[in-house]
A and B are shown apart, each in its own frame.
Chain A
């Protein structure tokens, strides 16, 4: 990702070359996987913050929270798919 940032800012030519590389089918799958994993991690992290506030700390709350995170992460993954293809 840092290499991509470097290439995207170095020059217009390297920006266009990067665009080419990142829109190849394999790169899109890797980008989709990375974005989906990051969304899942962020949603699970947000659940932690909610639980730090004392919400959903019961057994039942934990199950509901975990299911909500899975469901939202699945929606996010689908959304990244739509955005990329």
Chain B
């Protein structure tokens, strides 16, 4: 069996499951944030919310989910469209450059979230 070297978990079946589990975590997180922002938010209540340990953990879970979800989603797009078949010999170079940029950005986002949430 040939395994893919740049997919998130190296197998499609587990990428499929991770994509769905992370989607539920992200949906729950964004619904919570939207609900909070719909009411009247002031600095005190907003800061109090992020002082709870469960909110810090939930935020970190959402950041990790976003990283995995984006990796899997963009891997699908890049390996479908940024290929030798679609773009000629340059396809592989362009695809790997895009994947490298995306993965560096995602790691940076996760670190940034950790810094923000555990700093204040």
Main secondary structure of the interface of A (DSSP, over half): helix
Interface residues as binary, B28-59 with A (CB distance below 8 Å gives 1, 0 otherwise): 00100010001000010011001000000000
Chain B residue nearest to A80 in the complex (CB): B34
Decide if B78 is an interface residue (CB 8 Å cutoff): no
B51: nearest residue on chain A (CB-CB)? Answer: A9
Q: Contact between B116 and A83 (Cβ–Cβ < 8 Å)? A: no
Count of inter-chain pairs, beta carbons less than 8 A:
33
| Cβ contact within 8 Å between B23 and A45 | yes
- B120 near A10 (CB under 8 angstroms)? yes
- B116 near A49 (CB under 8 angstroms)? no
- Tell me the nearest residue of chain B to A12, going by C-beta: B43
Q: Is the CB of A38 within 8 A of B30?
A: yes
How many B residues, CB 8 Å from partner?
A: 16
Chain A: CB-nearest residue to B38? A83
Known: A15-B43, A16-B43. A49 touches B23 (CB 8 A): yes
The CA-CA distance from A38 to B23 in the complex, in Å, is: 12
Is B93 an interface position by the 8 A CB rule?
Answer: no
Apart from A12-B43, A42-B27, what 13 extra A-B contacts exist at CB < 8 Å?
A: A2-B109, A2-B113, A2-B116, A5-B116, A6-B112, A6-B116, A8-B46, A9-B47, A9-B120, A16-B43, A38-B30, A42-B30, A45-B27
Number of interface residues of A (CB under 8 A): 18
Binary CB contact string for chain A from 7 to 26 against chain B (1 if under 8 A, 0 otherwise): 01110100110000000000
B85 interfacial by beta-carbon distance below 8 Å: no
- Identity of the chain B residue whose Cβ is nearest the Cβ of A8 in the assembled complex: B46
Instruction: Please give me the residue from chain A that is nearest to B112 by CB atom.
Output: A2
Residues of the B chain whose Cβ atoms lie less than 8 Å from the Cβ of A52 = 20
Min CB gap A14→B, angstroms? 9
Give every chain A residue within 8 A of B30 (Cβ-Cβ): 38, 42
Q: Determine the chain B residues whose CB is within 8 A of the CB of A45 once the complex forms.
A: 23, 27
